[in-house]
Structure 1
Amino acid sequence: MQLFIGGTCAGKRDLIASRFPEATWLKMGEGADLSGWRDRLAPGQCLVISGWLDWLAGALADDADESDDDRLRARLDAELAAMVEAERRGQGEIVLILSEVGRGIVPIDPADRRLRDLAGWLAQDAAARAEAVWYVRHGLARCLTLG
Structure 2
Amino acid sequence: MHFVTGGAFNGKSAWVKAYYHMEAEAVGNWFSGYRGDALPEDLHSAAGVIVVLEGIEQWVKELLMEHDPKSAQDMWHAALEKWLQWERGQQGRVVCLIGSDITKGIVPASEEERELRDTAGRVFQDTAAVCERVDLIWYGIGQQLK
* TM superposition score category, shorter chain reference: 0.7 to 0.9
- The residue number in structure 2 matching 1:55 is 59
Structure 1 residue matching 2:43: 3-state secondary structure: helix
- The residue number in structure 2 matching 1:143 is 144
How many Å apart are 1:103 and its aligned residue? 1.4
1:34 and 2:35 matched: no
> Over residues 45-101 of structure 1, what are the superposed CA-to-partner deviations in whole Å (9 max), with x where a residue is unaligned?
21111122222222323x2xx3x3212111100111111121112173110001111
Identical-pair percentage: 30
| Stretches of structure 1 lacking an aligned partner (at least 5 in a row) | none
- 19-28 or 6-15: bigger deviation: 19-28
Structure 1 CA distance, aligned partners of 2:77 and 2:125?
A: 10
Structure 2 CA distance, aligned partners of 1:127 and 1:2?
A: 8
| Stretches of structure 2 lacking an aligned partner (at least 5 in a row) | none
Structure 1 residue matching 2:57: 3-state secondary structure: helix
AA of the residue aligned to 2:124: A
Structure 1 CA distance, aligned partners of 2:38 and 2:114?
A: 24
How many Å apart are 1:33 and its aligned residue? 4.0
- The residue number in structure 2 matching 1:2 is 2
How many Å apart are 1:140 and its aligned residue? 0.7
Aligned equivalent of 2:50, options 38, 46, 55: 46
8 A Cα contact 1:32 1:55, kept in partner = no
- The residue number in structure 2 matching 1:121 is 122
How many Å apart are 1:30 and its aligned residue? 8.7
How many Å apart are 1:29 and its aligned residue? 5.6
Structure 2 CA distance, aligned partners of 1:28 and 1:82?
A: 18
Structure 1 CA distance, aligned partners of 2:94 and 2:77?
A: 18
AA of the residue aligned to 1:15: W
8 A Cα contact 1:31 1:55, kept in partner = no
AA of the residue aligned to 1:19: Y
TM-score, structure 2 normalization: 0.85
Q: How many residues align?
A: 140
Structure 1 CA distance, aligned partners of 2:80 and 2:105?
A: 26
